[in-house]
Amino acid sequence: MQNDVVEVSVKGVMPTANGCAVFLGNDDKTFVIYVDHSVGNAIQMTLNGIKKDRPLTHDLIGHIFLGLGVKLDYVVVNDVNEGTFFARILLRMENELGKKIIEIDARPSDSTVLALQHKRPIYVATKVFDAVEDMTEILERVLKQQSEEEDSEEEDEEDQ
């Protein structure tokens, strides 16, 4: 499998008019997946380590995994078709009866939240990684702009 996939991480989550842009990538390339606001917020809260008062859907899924003795192995963004990304979640279950590996079709957004919560790797199929547009420069520009805006806000607060 290792030659067929590239490991990526979440490099940024940016709000958009219709949801959020999630930037995934590595040192070579960054690409974007657009997700709805709720999943974008869940990804950002997980990245920031924010504890929720009540379990959200992804937390509930994690609790179900725990209750069933299932471990999330990894997730893989395995396909893209006309801008729509597809993913698979690989689960492992081991008990006195043996081993079972389960592969589930899922949205990349949900898969990303679960991988982050369980501190498991996120992979992208090489064919997908090669096909997507490199958004590294755009991410760097947006992060720089956000940093400058934060610095400006801090200066304004100090002046008051």
Per-residue pLDDT tens for 98-133? 899 999 999 999 999 999 999 999 999 999 999 999
Domain CATH number, residue 138: 3.10.690.10
Most distant CA pair in the chain, distance: 67
Q: Are 143 and 135 in contact (CB under 8 A)?
A: no
Is residue 98 one of the residues assigned to a domain?
yes
Is residue 159 one of the residues assigned to a domain?
no
Is residue 132 one of the residues assigned to a domain?
yes
The percent of residues above 90 in pLDDT, for the chain, comes to: 65
Is residue 93 one of the residues assigned to a domain?
yes
> For residue 140, what are the domain limits?
5-154
pTM recorded for the entire structure: 0.85
Cα–Cα dist 134/148, whole Å:
24
> Over the chain, what is the mean pLDDT?
90
Cα–Cα dist 94/110, whole Å:
24
Q: Which of 35, 11, 5, 34 is nearest to 23 (CA)?
A: 11
* Number of domain units in the chain: 1
Is residue 160 one of the residues assigned to a domain?
no
Judging by beta carbons within 10 Å of its beta carbon (0-12, 13-18, 19+), is residue 59 exposed, middle or buried? middle
Q: What is the pLDDT of residue 55?
A: 83
Q: Are 17 and 138 in contact (CB under 8 A)?
A: no
For 13-37, what is the mean pLDDT?
94
